[in-house]
Amino acid sequence: MKIRRSEETTCPGGGDMDSSIITAKMSKTNYKLSWRPDQSAPNLSPSKKHPAMINSYTRLLASALLAIVPTAQSADTATLKDAFKGQFYVGVAINRTIAMSAAVRADNVNRNMDQVNKDVALTKDQFNQIAPENDLKWALIQPQEGPDGYNFGPADAYVNFGLSNNMYIVGHTLVWHSQTPNWVFAGTNLPPGVTNAAPAPSPGTDPNPAATNTPGRGRGGRGFGGGFGRGGFTGPRASREELLQRMHDHIQAVVGRYKGKIKVWDVVNEAIADQGTNILRTSPWEQIIGPDFIAKAFEYAHEADPDAILRYNDYSLENPAKRQKLITLIKSLLDQHVPVMAIGTQTHVSVSGPSFEQEDQTLTDLEALGLPIHVTELDVNGAQGGQRNAGADVASNAATTQGGLVSDADKRLADEYAALFRAFVKHHNSVKVVTFWGINDGVSWRAAGRPLLFDANDQPKPAFGAVIAEAKPAATAK
């Protein structure tokens, strides 16, 4: 199959940052005003002058400083999308209430209309890219089998929100072991080595609720079932051919519907094993189809929209062992000419790390693959429980948000975000998208960990200022 690889472009409205810089130095007898570019500074540095002359200099200096206040970048006036303009998109995962501008009960979010309006305004003001928390996941968009089993309404609202606000739109996600309805994997074939299996579980139930990979309170998926545990799908299952056909039809329908509108797709999500030596986790996709389910998913997505950027997305890539598994997997796929076009690193981290040096090394290693890097689900957990577990598997979320906040949580959050964005800016030639996983702490999947830049009332936290401050080096990095 001939592959046409999509090219990543710079951020909309990209270009050189305003390089004008004005500095002032004041002491009792020394006044100096200087600015760029290539302007002659007035002689305002007398060592000894008459007080009236000093007052005149002071007034001139004050007037010059006031004149440049509107263009100075500060945490009070700056927006994330403008601060990193020309570096990378700054995006946010939005829930159904934002996409529909309505106080609907969805994504386990309970916001009144006043709160929703503020959430919508903040989204439009701060971000130029969006991802959906839930409404493009299989369990939400095709809960029932067949062409009549789709529920496109919420997904349409999401896409229309992005289009109407000139945002770069991401689709999340096509193939995942979690939040996939049971009917997708069900069939008449017994698992290998099984002679008398129980009937397939009914739709919406979980065949192994105690296992590691069950959805629980998932990322935006709190309350939605349909995931599968460590033992995989234990009931009568579809054949390889049946499951491939279901995958193909689903991808054709969903990607095809939003062709040209959704620019990036998370084609396969979280397929890498957290522990052990196996590269792939055990999942119904891997058990029924085999390891080539990943290649097939990318091929089907590329057929449905040849111009879309197709990415593989996973968490805990800050862990060197898991990162090496990803590098091995992606190299193998590229060697097979599978159209993987970007790497999604979720970056669900904590106030304990990674450090700047560790994030710098993560991005350096990923750059070796030669693909654009997208930071896809950024948040920084401030809960005590989250400092002991750096993973982001949906089943472990409850444990990672227990124990209350760490001491000095706001400062540690700001320090960690500053370190991360310092690394993103350093690698801005490779990092093309940075997406926060939620608009504010109140709607976060890790709400108890207060992991985002804005509190539940959409007010900026100290971490917001810390992130904006990292944009200053970005303005001069060109």
Q: What residues act catalytically?
A: 270, 377
- Cα torsion for 269, 305, 296, 395, to the nearest 10°? 10
Sign of CA dihedral 462, 452, 129, 319: positive
Tokens of 85: 């303009």
Q: Rounded CA gap, 316 and 312, in Å?
A: 14
* Residue pair 420/347 in contact by the 8 Å Cβ criterion: yes
Which H or E element spans position 31? strand 31-35
Show Cβ contacts of residue 458 under 8 Å, excluding neighbours closer than 6 positions.
115, 118, 119, 121, 122, 439, 440
Strand 186-189 versus strand 237-237 pairing type: antiparallel
Task: Kindly list the distances between the CA atom of residue 381 and the CA atoms of 86, 175, 368, 392, 410, in Å, as whole numbers in the listed order.
Answer: 28, 26, 28, 11, 11
State the number of CA atoms in the 13 A half-sphere of 394 facing the CB: 28
Name the β-bridge partners of 22: 35
